[in-house]
Structure 1
Amino acid sequence: MNGQDIHRSSIHAFATWEPLLRLLRAENAERLAVPGGRVVGRITRSAWSVPLRQMYNDDVLRVVDVLVKDGISAVTFVMEMDAMGRTRLHLLIPSRAVELGAGFNPGALVLVEEALPEPWRRLPDPVPGAVPAPSADPALLERTVRERLPGAVGATEAEIAAVESRLSIPLPEELKALYRVTRAQRADWRGDYEAASRHSEAVRCELFELEGLYIAEATTRECPWPYAAMEAVRTHPSSAVQGLAGSPGWIAFADNGGGDRLAIDLTPGPCGHIGQVILISHEEDIGARLLAHSLTDLLLDRPPTESGSAEPQAPAATSFAYDQETLEGAAHPGLEALRLGASGGRPVTLAPLIGLPRLRSLAAEPGTLVDPAEIAALTGLEYLELGSREWSALLDADGVPQGLLAAAVNGPFEEDPLAVAGLANELLALWGRPRITQTVVEGDLGTRALSP
């Protein structure tokens, strides 16, 4: 929904909010009675944070319905009211350039259209000597599954070919052998839960229907910029799986029943095999774990053998520092992402980071920098996260790095969301990106009893 359409939405009608505002007044009367007192909340299409004893109620759902109807992802509101019941409601609606953040403040600001963090742009390294595992045996796999699932309905060659065309990649022979035995369509089980369970036990996973197969590229692994930018791709010479967020050679074909994806890996690590089975965890933002050297091994319950070589310790590509000493210890040519905390430490100078060739992400909590202007010398940054004061200092000094792809304002939970939105809009304006919509809705709740 663009800015013009947002302004036409009934989200800006006082009547949309009035029942909720009356309830907020009744439960937050003391807070609103204080000079400058405000009530702050946020509502999205799937969740909300409002200062009410009973969070789930029809007054909140009325606003949710408007968001869904008008295609608005979220709205942050700031309610002000005088003693006579005259009410000002400030509304903040993020644009497509703004990710949802925690609390009431915006998340990352995507300064370049469709920009992705470096780990999400990383493609697999070539492994010229990679071959299928000796255990890969499509014929044995097919016989085994037929014995376990007598009478199963298999996919036709035309159906398999159609999936290959859709994915623009040939399916490995083992995967085709599996689907020739069972097409894994839920309709074939006619709602029989036990039949579905037997099927999963037979194939050792919750197999997708053919139409459910997809390429697990990095873009399918959604991760907000503030987290993705602080990751790094690590693939050791002894690794079986490349430490990527996703790959054009990862064919996701199943679920493990706990939300993790199983994929056939056609772009293995230096010590892996083409066609190995990997697990992509929903609890991790990057990387995958080897499950079996082949699909045949998975079906026959053969665990993968461990690599014999230990991985030597190397300087961390991502690090955390809380004072000058730990910052200097983290600084090395391979450092890619650094987070500065404030656990009672003194503010630090960024001098040790200047000139580091791979440093691309910096997240500094409020009050951790001696001089925010030093950031201008970190010319390779693509992601920067700072407190409001630090951003204001950079903006005033015209020192915002021009190579940024994304940025974030790291404000405390109690910080004024209107001020944070204004600062975010200054940053978005530097890149000509759509800004957070800020509007004021006014109405009169009257001076009647403070109950809805």
Structure 2
Amino acid sequence: MEWDAVVFDADPADTVRRCGGHPGWLPFASGQDGNFRAVDTAPARKGRPGQVIQMGRDYDHSPEYVADSVTSLLGHYLELLEEGAYEVQDGTIRMREPDRGFDRGIAVGEIPAEIPPTLQDITINTLSLGVDLTPLTVAPNLRRLQLHNGATTNLAAVRTVPIEALHVTLDGNDLSPLVDHRHLAALNLGTTAATDLAPLRTVPNLRCLDLSRADVTDLAVLADLSGLRYLALTAQQWSVLLDKGNTPPNLAAVRLAGFDLSFDDALSWSARLGRSSGDTFRISSVPGPSDNCAHHALANISKRRSRSEVS
């Protein structure tokens, strides 16, 4: 899973634990595609022991509630068979079931006038520099917000929703709305002005941070973020941080971000972090339409037992 991954809630809410896997999930049926139906013996607060869920390769971001028991599931299938709501393909019976219409996530150009109450994930692609995030305060279950290309002048709306992963460009320098935000775990921050990172000291569960698009006044603040496990910075930012010895104490994975980086640049940076280059390897591939060739070629250069990563 990616560094800023979020596991979303199932529908109905709070029936299945928000995790990618659990010892109490007991698979009993396979789709032959890496996905499974499982009996859930460790449900969430509003779930029922023995309920049936969907889990597996395509459900890392959210296990799916299926039925309250295996008996109910089999009864439902029998009803579909009796109604003729099925088709046979290559000797396999496929049930025809209606779309549940669960709006967990949306991608939009502008924030819509009506926000579905089930919304947990929104990606906004806009060129606007003054995006007003206030309409999102009516989304009580919003877990991830990604604002691409555009910028917002105020993060106040973020205070009132349980966002865990935030990708945003701030047109300004005020991070104070993030003070004491107990849900925020991953922040990808861009700024248009030099910004004080001090408010991040109060974010208790911040684990992952990407500042490669941000102009910050004092990187020394990062030394106080003892819970930080992942950090992405530009070469210049890393140089400032390492020169002053202000590296966060408990990092598990790091990234060298930016364009026009050479392989030697990456090796030198890795060495400054105390990583040996003896078992370094390079992976490159043909970039996609949106990839920068130099940046893409540096992905996963160094992957050691310490899980250090250069990209």
Question: Do the two structures share a fold, i.e. TM-score over 0.5?
Answer: yes
Identify the residue that residue 397 of structure 1 maps to in structure 2: 244
Map of 1:279-428 to 2, 5 A cutoff?
279-280=54-55, 282-301=57-76, 312-313=140-141, 314-323=161-170, 324=172, 327-342=175-190, 345-412=192-259, 414-428=260-274
| SS at structure 1 position matched to 2:76 | coil
| SS at structure 2 position matched to 1:409 | strand
Cα gap change, 1:254 to 1:418, in 2 (>3 Å): farther
Q: Is the 8 A contact 2:4 2:165 kept in 1?
A: no
Structure 2 unaligned regions, length at least 5: 78-96, 102-116, 119-138, 142-160, 283-311
Identify the residue that residue 21 of structure 2 maps to in structure 1: 246
Cα gap change, 1:436 to 1:335, in 2 (>3 Å): farther
Greater relative contact order (Cα < 8 A, sep 6+):
1
After superposition, the C-alpha distances for 1:25-70 in whole angstroms (9 at most, x for unaligned) are xxxxxxxxxxxxxxxxxxxxxxxxxxxxxxxxxxxxxxxxxxxxxx
Residue identity matched to 1:419 = D
Residue identity matched to 2:50 = G
Identify the residue that residue 288 of structure 2 maps to in structure 1: none
Q: Is the 8 A contact 1:347 1:369 kept in 2?
A: yes
Residue identity matched to 2:219 = P
Cα gap change, 1:295 to 1:360, in 2 (>3 Å): same
Structure 1 unaligned regions, length at least 5: 1-222, 440-452
Report the alpha carbon displacement of residue 229 of structure 1 after superposing the two structures with TM. Answer: 5.1
CA RMSD of the aligned region, Å?
Answer: 3.7
Q: More deviation in 320-329 or 271-280?
A: 320-329
Cα gap change, 1:373 to 1:435, in 2 (>3 Å): farther
| SS at structure 2 position matched to 1:300 | helix
Report the alpha carbon displacement of residue 291 of structure 1 after superposing the two structures with TM. Answer: 1.2
Q: Is the 8 A contact 2:226 2:250 kept in 1?
A: yes
Cα gap change, 1:367 to 1:318, in 2 (>3 Å): closer
Cα gap change, 1:346 to 1:228, in 2 (>3 Å): same
Equivalent of 1:274 in 22, 40, 49: 49
Please give the TM-score of this superposition, normalised by the length of structure 2.
0.55
Cα gap change, 1:369 to 1:280, in 2 (>3 Å): farther
Distance 1:237 1:428 in 2: 48
Q: Is the 8 A contact 2:54 2:64 kept in 1?
A: yes
Q: Flag the structure with higher helix content.
A: 1
Distance 1:235 1:272 in 2: 10
Identify the residue that residue 263 of structure 1 maps to in structure 2: 38
Q: Is the 8 A contact 1:366 1:390 kept in 2?
A: no
Report the alpha carbon displacement of residue 434 of structure 1 after superposing the two structures with TM. Answer: 7.2
Residue identity matched to 2:264 = L
Distance 2:12 2:264 in 1: 50
Q: Flag the structure with higher strand content.
A: 2
Distance 1:252 1:419 in 2: 47
After superposition, the C-alpha distances for 1:226-247 in whole angstroms (9 at most, x for unaligned) are x245536869995110101211
Distance 1:230 1:398 in 2: 29
Cα gap change, 1:272 to 1:319, in 2 (>3 Å): same
Report the alpha carbon displacement of residue 319 of structure 1 after superposing the two structures with TM. Answer: 1.8
Report the alpha carbon displacement of residue 334 of structure 1 after superposing the two structures with TM. Answer: 0.7
